[in-house]
Amino acid sequence: MAGREAAKNVLRAQRIELPSWAFGNSGTRFKVFAQQGVPRDPFEKVADAAQVHRFTGVAPSVALHIPWDQVADYAALGRAAADAGIALGTVNANVFQDDDYKLGSVTNPDPAVRRKALDHLFACVDVMDLTGSRDLKLWFSDGTNYPGQDDIRARQDRLAEALSAVYERLSGDQRLILEYKLFEPAFYTTDVPDWGTAYAHCLRLGERARVCVDTGHHAPGTNIEFIVAFLLREQKLGAFDFNSRFYADDDLMVGAADPFQLFRILFEVARAGGLAADSQIAFMLDQCHNIEPKIPGQIRSVMNVQEATAKALLVDTEALAAAQAAGDVLGANGVLMDAFNTDVRPLLAELREEGGLDPDPMAAYARSGYAERIVAERVGGTQAGWGA
Ligand code: LRH
Ligand code: MN
């Protein structure tokens, strides 16, 4: 058993990266409900992300999405982040919103389109050189909608060619993080549809190519913690995009739809040493707050990850190992359920107070007046969004 103090040491060192796009307007194909006070530029997104770190203490970096977060001076954006107490994190490429990518980006039958997509990926590496980011995260919407539309194998050849060109462009400790997704926007084939495809491409690329597990990107009923345990064993788990869903890629707050699944996933991470301060896993949120206020939504999400992590750390691993060795099925399951059913909120409140933070981040943010201030200040201009 990690024990309370050992668990607190791990929780104190926890780092959860926020998605800049969670602070902008977002929605579905049916409607994007704009919200007052939403950022108009990446500097205001960074300022909002810093509020989440201010009240939780465990969200010290914000992931960028290019071109949504394109600026003339990335060093200035980095300084603004540092002045606000956070850092610029993972760089996400975007080859899914240009008309030229209708039949694919790096997998497109047209070499000129593939070239254009590759140039964007190279440009994202240039941004990493300016922001000092370690990770380039690649998610491809590439796929087909009808059988016969394109050659499944040829598209994999094109994908592999682009990935290795990008991998060659990386320098220092920079990593390529490949994210898979079962479907959407393509509805017949998706060129990186599952962990196996992402894993196979990363194996071919090399040590600094790792897989991103987005918790909303699996078929219903998929045992995600098995995938996590397997990729950890292979040292090929590079990142999480945390969110939750009831049906498809709903991008709801992590832990909201299935807190038990999040606990089971984090237990496999803890068991593999993936919560250690020097862990090579990037824990990121990838969510859209379509109807709820965005900064409180991020604060609540960070707290959900903290709670699931604390429960995972409180699993009595000795008792579990003994019950597993003895074939005591109910005993073993009981050990895990005891941890999951433990109320860890007092432990986390204590941890925050010991760190000089308010034990209740949601209430502290509400009292801060920041929400009212940004509504009053952010008048005019164009609110940030997906621009889809
Ligand atoms: C794709 C995805 C990917 C991002 C996007 C914002 O569904 O999960 O991680 O680029 O959402
Ligand atoms: Mn994602």
**Long-range Cβ contacts of 167-171 (<8 Å, 24+ apart):** 167/205, 167/206, 167/208, 167/209, 169/121, 169/122, 169/125, 170/125, 170/136, 170/208, 171/129
CA–CA dist 2, 318 (Å, integer) = 10
Bridge partners of residue 139, in order along the sequence: 179
Atom 9 (ligand 1) nearest CA: 139
| Residue nearest ligand 1's atom 2 by CA | 139
**C-alpha 139 – ligand 1 centre gap (Å):** 6
Each residue of 74-131: pLDDT tens digit? 999 999 999 999 999 999 999 999 999 999 999 999 999 999 999 999 999 999 999 9
Residue 137's alpha-carbon distances to 33, 58, 70, 126, 235, in angstroms, are 27, 21, 16, 14, 17
Predicted pLDDT of residue 388: 57
> Which neighbouring-strand residues pair with 237?
211
Query: What's the CA gap between 371 and 293, in Å, rounded?
Result: 9
pLDDT, one tens digit per residue, over 268-299 is 999 999 999 899 999 999 999 999 999 999 99
pLDDT in tens, 184-210: 999 999 999 999 999 999 999 999 999
pTM for the whole structure: 0.98
Q: Would the CB of 69 count as within 6 Å of ligand 1?
A: no
Looking at residue 366, what is its pLDDT? Answer: 98
Between the CA of 269 and the centroid of ligand 1 the distance, in Å, is 22
Among all bound ligands, the one having the nearest atom to the CA of 242 is 2
Q: Name residues whose C-beta falls within 8 Å of residue 377's C-beta, 6 or more positions apart in sequence.
A: 37
Q: Give the residue whose CA is nearest to atom 6 of ligand 1.
A: 286
Stretch 53-71: mean pLDDT = 98
- Residue 307 Cβ inside 6 Å of ligand 1? The answer reads no
From 69, 96, 179, 212, the mutation candidate for ligand 1 (largest count of ligand atoms within 8 A of CB) is 179
- In this structure, which ligand is nearest to the CA of 68? 1
Q: Which helix (H) or strand (E) holds 144?
A: strand 143-144
Provide the pLDDT for residue 3: 85
Nearest CA among 255, 125, 103 for reference residue 188? 103
CB atoms inside a 10 Å sphere around CB 72:
6
Q: In angstroms, what is the span from residue 94 Cα to ligand 2's centroid? A: 12
pLDDT tens-digit series, residues 323-381: 999 999 999 999 999 999 999 999 999 999 999 999 999 999 999 999 999 999 999 99
Position 2 scores a pLDDT of 59
- Ligand 1 neighbour 181 (Cβ under 6 A): yes
